[in-house]
Amino acid sequence: MSSGNGQAPAVEVSGLVKQFGAVRALDGLSLTIPRGIIYGLLGPNGAGKTTLIRALIGLVRPTSGSVQVMGYNVLTAGAQVRAGSGYMTQSPALYSELSVWENVDFSARIFGLTDGGKRKERISQVLQLVELDQRANTPVSNLSGGMRQRVLLACTLVHQPQLLLLDEPTVGVDPQLRYSFWRYFRTLADSGVTLIVSSHVMDEAERCDRLGLMRAGKLLAEGTAAEIRARAGTANLEDAFLQLSGITPLPASDSGGGDRIQQ
Amino acid sequence: MSIARTLAVTRRIINQLRHDRRTLGLIFGAPILLLGLLGYLLRSEENTSLTLAISNQDAGAGVVNAGQLLTSKLKQSVGIVVKDISGDVREAVRNGTVDAALVFSPTFSADLLAHRPVAITVLLEGSNPSQTGGAVLQLQRAVMQVVASLSASVPGGTAPPQVRINPDLIYGSLNLKPLDYFAPALIGFFAFFLIFVITCVSFLRERTQGTMERLFASPITRGEVVVGYMLGFGLFAMIQALIIVLFTTLVLQVNYTGNLFLVFLVTLLLAIGAVNLGIFLSSFARTELQAVQFIPLVIAPSFLLSGLLFPVKDMPGWLQGVSDVLPMTYANSALTDIMIRGKGLLDVLPEFGVLLLFAALMVVVASLTLRREVA
Ligand SMILES: Nc1ncnc2c1ncn2[C@@H]1O[C@H](COP(=O)(O)OP(=O)(O)OP(=O)(O)O)[C@@H](O)[C@H]1O
Ligand SMILES: [Mg+2]
Average pLDDT taken over every residue of chain A: 89
Mean pLDDT of B156-175: 73
pLDDT at B298 over 70: yes
Give the C-alpha separation, B26 to B305, whole Å.
20
Give the CA radius of gyration of chain A.
Answer: 19
CB contact under 8 A, B219 and A93: no
Q: Which long-range contacts (CB under 8 A, 24 or more apart) does B342-349 make?
A: B342/B171, B342/B257, B342/B258, B343/B258, B344/B258, B344/B259, B344/B262, B345/B259, B345/B262, B348/B262, B348/B266
pLDDT in tens, A178-218: 998 999 999 999 999 999 999 988 888 999 999 999 999 99
Contact A62, A3 (CB under 8 A): no
Mutate: best of B201, B205, B206, B211, partner A, most A CBs <10 A: B211
Give the C-alpha separation, B287 to B208, whole Å.
7
Q: What is the pLDDT of residue A5?
A: 60
Q: What is the pLDDT of residue B158?
A: 57
What ipTM was assigned to the predicted interfaces of this complex? 0.87
CA dihedral A22, A24, A28, A32 (to 10 degrees): -160
Partner residue opposite B215 with nearest CB, options A79, A96, A110: A110
Percent of chain A with pLDDT over 90: 73
Residues of B with Cβ-Cβ distance to A57 under 8 angstroms: 217
pLDDT in tens, B98-124: 888 888 888 888 887 787 888 888 888
pLDDT at A126 over 90: yes
CB contact under 8 A, B217 and A155: no
Mean pLDDT of B188-210: 89
Q: What is the pLDDT of residue B354?
A: 94
CA of A44 to the centre of ligand 1 (A): 11
**pLDDT bracket for residue B369 (50, 70, 90):** confident
CA distances from B226 to B230, B231, B277, B356 (A): 6, 9, 11, 16
Q: Pairing mode, if any, of strands A23-33 and A11-20?
A: antiparallel
pLDDT at A137 over 70: yes
What is the 3 state secondary structure string of chain A? CCCCCCCCCCEEEEEEEEEECCEEEEEEEEEEECCCCEEEEECCCCCCHHHHHHHHHCCCCCCEEEEEECCEECCCCHHHHHHCEEEECCCCCCCCCCEHHHHHHHHHHHCCCCCHHHHHHHHHHHHHHCCCHHHCCCEHHHCCHHHHHHHHHHHHHCCCCCEEEEECCCCCCCHHHHHHHHHHHHHHHHCCCEEEEECCEHHHHHHCCEEEEEECCEEEEEECHHHHHHHHCCCCHHHHHHHHCCCCCCCHHHHHHCCECCC
CA distances from A44 to A238, A247, B5, B64, B210 (A): 12, 12, 35, 103, 22
Average pLDDT taken over every residue of chain B: 84
CA of A198 to the centre of ligand 2 (A): 8
Q: What is the pLDDT of residue B294?
A: 86
pLDDT at A87 over 90: yes
**pLDDT bracket for residue A257 (50, 70, 90):** very low
Structural domains present in chain A = 1-35+43-79+199-263 (3.40.50.300)
pLDDT in tens, A14-64: 999 999 999 999 999 999 999 999 999 999 899 999 999 999 999 999 999
Q: What is the pLDDT of residue A88?
A: 96
pLDDT in tens, B123-136: 888 888 777 888 88
CB contact under 8 A, B214 and A89: yes
Q: Pairing mode, if any, of strands A64-69 and A72-73?
A: antiparallel
Residues of B with Cβ-Cβ distance to A58 under 8 angstroms: 372-373
Structural domains present in chain B = 48-169 (3.40.1710.10), 177-374 (no CATH)
Burial bucket for residue A138 (CB in 10 Å: 0-12, 13-18, 19+):
middle
B198-234 burial code (b ≥16 CB/10 A, e <16): bbbbbbbbbbebbbbbbbbbbbbeeeebbbebbeebb
Q: What is the pLDDT of residue B89?
A: 83
Contacts of B198 (CB under 8 A, 6+ apart): B233, B278
Mean pLDDT of B351-375: 88
Ligand nearest to the CA of A25: 1
Q: What is the pLDDT of residue A255?
A: 43
Contacts of A39 (CB under 8 A, 6+ apart): A11, A33, A194, A195, A196, A197, A208, A209, A210, A211, A212
**pLDDT bracket for residue B156 (50, 70, 90):** low
- Lowest mean pLDDT, pick from B48-52, B171-175, B297-301: B171-175
